Amino acid sequence: MPPKSITDLTLVKELLDTVGGEDAITVVKLCEKKRKMTTDEELSKKMKKKVTEVRAILNKLHFRGIACYQKARNQKTGWYNYTWEIKKDRIAEIIEEQQKENLEKLNNKMKLEADYSLFDCTKCNHREVFEVAAEYNFICPTCGGNMTSANDPNRQKELLTKIKNIEKELTLLNKMK
């Protein structure tokens, strides 16, 4: 089933959690649901959180350009009202930037592990190519632990799955922004 909200995507969840804390996802969900500008008071009521707490989250999101606000003076009270909007395209932009680098790293890792016979120390993760590891009789030159092949087909599969999942989410995100 295709995701209904961008907050269903793991990459979006992770980003919002890092930027605004665990409640940031709820803020974005509520704003997304309303489809128009939402005041921080409304959010505070719906989330059963103090307005100051909601504002703190919104400010963190604002700092990264994910949330933006409009300020208007309430004619009756004379106070300022802040209405907030979530910028989905900005969320997509940040994630694309992040994942571009991450995908490159994962692809390189996969290629390297497929091209060379690599051996990892089971204790300290020290890595050597086959020739060097064989010279040491597959005993880690750093800590004396056993070295085993890193060319694990399961690991290759795992890396590929990771890459595919990220690519899939990026495509979805692009359609939903």
Q: Which of residues 142 and 161 has its CB atom nearest to Zn ion in the complex?
A: 142
Tokens coding 27: 């803020």
Closest CA to 152 of 107, 120, 106, 108: 120
- Per-residue tokens: 162: 């990771």
Selected binder of Zn ion within 114, 129, 143, 160 (CB under 5 A) = 143
* Cβ contact 114:157 at 8 Å: no
Stretch that binds Zn ion, among 9-17, 28-36, 71-79, 116-124 (CB under 5 A): 116-124
C-beta of 64 vs 127, nearer to Zn ion: 127
Cβ distance to Zn ion smaller for residue 97 or 135:
135
Of 42-50, 63-71, 120-128, 159-167, the segment contacting Zn ion by CB under 5 A is 120-128
Burial class of residue 79, CB neighbours in 10 A (0-12, 13-18, 19+)? exposed
Measured in whole angstroms, how far is the alpha carbon of residue 48 from the centre of its chain? Answer: 26
Selected range binding Zn ion among 31-39, 102-110, 115-123, 152-160, rule: CB under 5 A? 115-123
> Using CB under 5 A, which of 72, 124, 129, 134 touches Zn ion?
124
Of 25-33, 62-70, 118-126, 127-135: span binding Zn ion (CB under 5 A): 118-126
Find, among 176, 170, 106, 118, the residue nearest to 147 by Cα: 118
- Binding status of residue 123 toward Zn ion by CB under 5 A: yes
Look up residue 156 and give its amino acid: Q
Q: Looking at 23, 85, 145, 156, which residue binds Zn ion (CB under 5 A)?
A: 145
Closer residue to Zn ion in complex, CB, 11/140: 140
Residues touching Zn ion: how many (CB under 5 A)? 8
134: contact with Zn ion by CB under 5 A: no
Q: Name which of 102, 31, 96, 106 is nearest 61 in CA terms.
A: 31
Q: How many whole angstroms separate alpha carbon 131 and alpha carbon 54?
A: 58
Binding site for Zn ion (CB under 5 A): 121, 123-124, 126, 140, 142-143, 145
